[in-house]
Amino acid sequence: MKKLLLIALPALMLTACADKNQYQQAVLEQMQKEQDIKDYKLDPEQIAKCVVDTSSSNMPGAFALDPTRMMAYRNYAKMLNVSKAQDPKKELEVLRNDFGSAKELSDAHNNYAESLVECYTSLISASDEKARPEQ
């Protein structure tokens, strides 16, 4: 039994990392398009990591290897890529089903948006503090 667990655990960890990385990549693609990032001279990778970390704390699932959390990462990535779909309306319907309801999809979008605003605020404040001369 212990051998089976030792074999299954690394596979599960790789899957969890892949799902989180897929979500982080989707966020990064969004950040690279954002004009605010360019205007404030922020690092898109730093913002993406912050958004993923912040939004993860409000996702379903108790921890990173929780199957519910792994599914949430996949669903969030799909949510961010809905505009790339050949049929965005159909993809939106699929997302509603994947999230469980239109309200849960809306809650996920709000979680992402709130995380984005929180990360913008904290990173812009940090860059402003670095730019200020010491007094």
pLDDT tens for each residue of 68-84: 999 999 999 999 999 88
Q: Is residue 16 part of a domain?
A: yes
pLDDT tens for each residue of 90-108: 999 999 999 999 999 999 9
Q: Which of 101, 96, 115 is nearest to 57 (CA)?
A: 115
Q: Is residue 65 part of a domain?
A: yes
CB atoms under 10 Å from CB of 74, counted, come to 16
Q: Is residue 135 part of a domain?
A: no
Query: Domain span at residue 23?
Result: 2-129
Cα–Cα dist 92/111, whole Å = 17
Q: How many domains does the chain have?
A: 1
Cα–Cα dist 74/30, whole Å = 16
Q: Is residue 13 part of a domain?
A: yes
Q: Is residue 134 part of a domain?
A: no
CB atoms under 10 Å from CB of 38, counted, come to 11
Phi (first) and psi of residue 40, to 5 degrees: -90, 5
